[in-house]
Amino acid sequence: MNATRARDILRQLADGIDPFTGQPLPPAIPTPDGTGRLAPAGADLNGPSGRALDERILSPLELTRADAWLCDLVSHSCMNQGQEAALLREGQPIPDWPRVPATLADERRRHEILAELEASQARILITLGDQPLRWFTAHFGSHHRLSDYGETPATYGQLHPLIINGRPLHLLPLAHPRQIARLGAHSDKWAGLHAAWQVSASALTGYA
């Protein structure tokens, strides 16, 4: 399944539509006893990362998710070392769940991301943290690390010209949501720089 189809399925599920039949989903799905229940994410989990994306990155740019095309380096869910360690600590079985790969984006994955970038027709490419710079944009001439673009209020969160496959774009390298929202292990430096950036980010909206 490609990334576009997966995104369409998730959108239909969010709208209460069965993506395979096109029929409305039932208001509730019976589940066996002992299967647990869904609950809002804790203060240090991925839910806050999503809110940080909305409130601290998109909103200052006067954008919503409807205006953005979101893309991950790794196109499937992975178990990181911290999650595996937590399961072992609690005496839980380790599921058959892919680990985070050593190579976050190989040549094939970069071509998939290029196809998404072309489909989106975006004029600004926003990267979050070091990894998308290292594994994707550096192959087209960007720096490899966020810090290479500067670590001062005057240099953080600025637009940088970048040509990808002959198409001119503006690269906007920002810190990862977990950094800017001070979620778990984080750097006060990047959180502070991003907080200052939020005040003036609307000046960039004309490029989006």
pLDDT of residue 196: 96
pLDDT of residue 170: 96
pLDDT of residue 184: 79
pLDDT of residue 13: 77
Range(s) of the domain holding residue 144: 44-68+104-207
Q: Does pLDDT of 187 surpass 80?
A: yes
Q: In this structure, what token pair is assigned to residue 144? A: 């490899």
Confidence of residue 30 (pLDDT cuts 50, 70, 90): low
Confidence of residue 5 (pLDDT cuts 50, 70, 90): confident
**Residue 109: inside a domain, yes or no?**
yes
**Residue 20: inside a domain, yes or no?**
no
**Residue 175: inside a domain, yes or no?**
yes
Q: What is the pLDDT of residues 142-156, one digit of tens each?
A: 999 999 999 999 999
Q: What is the pLDDT of residues 53-73, one digit of tens each?
A: 999 999 999 999 889 999 999
pLDDT of residue 49: 86
- Structurally, the chain folds into a number of domains equal to 1
**Residue 181: inside a domain, yes or no?**
yes
Interatomic CA distance for residues 204 and 62, integer angstroms: 9
* Range scoring the smallest mean pLDDT among 25-34, 76-85, 183-192: 25-34
Stronger pLDDT, 1 or 126, i.e. the higher one: 126
pLDDT of residue 31: 62
Q: Does pLDDT of 103 surpass 90?
A: yes
Q: Does pLDDT of 11 surpass 80?
A: no
* Range scoring the smallest mean pLDDT among 5-9, 82-86, 159-163, 170-174: 5-9
Q: What is the mean pLDDT of the chain?
A: 87
**Residue 125: inside a domain, yes or no?**
yes
- Give the mean pLDDT of 116-124: 93
Stronger pLDDT, 35 or 49, i.e. the higher one: 49
Q: How far is CA 126 from CA 20, 22, 107, in A?
A: 33, 34, 20
pLDDT of residue 119: 93
**Residue 163: inside a domain, yes or no?**
yes
**Residue 16: inside a domain, yes or no?**
no
Q: How far is CA 93 from CA 32, 46, 85, 89, 101, in A?
A: 20, 22, 11, 10, 21
**Residue 93: inside a domain, yes or no?**
no
